[in-house]
Amino acid sequence: MRLEVALRESEEKATALESSILQLREEAKEAERVIISLNGKATETVETIDRGVNGIHDEGKGLKLQWPVVAAGSTGAVVAAAAVLYVCYGKRR
């Protein structure tokens, strides 16, 4: 009888954990969408500034996007978001 109760409790905990995992995945997807949106806005802003600098000086020198730096920043943002999710929801246990 005690084993049956322990098994039932274990199954309930597993179900709760699966539900939490699904919720975290959805939140991670939303965070990824926000990051992609912010990266797009940042790129647009840099391009606007670049066009403005080129228009003012008209020398063709404006700001050059350094894609490795942009990629590193994007990766850093994703890692930061994942760390926040881990810290916030890891303490629930």
- pTM (2 decimals)? 0.47
Residue with tokens 């403005």: 52
pLDDT band at 15 (very low <50, low <70, confident <90, very high): very high
Question: What does the pLDDT average to over 19-44?
Answer: 86
Tell me, what DSSP letter sits at residue 63? Answer: P
For position 57, what pLDDT does the model report?
52
CB atoms within 10 A of CB 32: 14
Give dist(CA 19, CA 36) in Å, integer. Answer: 26
pLDDT mean over 9-20: 92
**CA angle in degrees (0–180, nearest 5) for 32-37-41:** 145
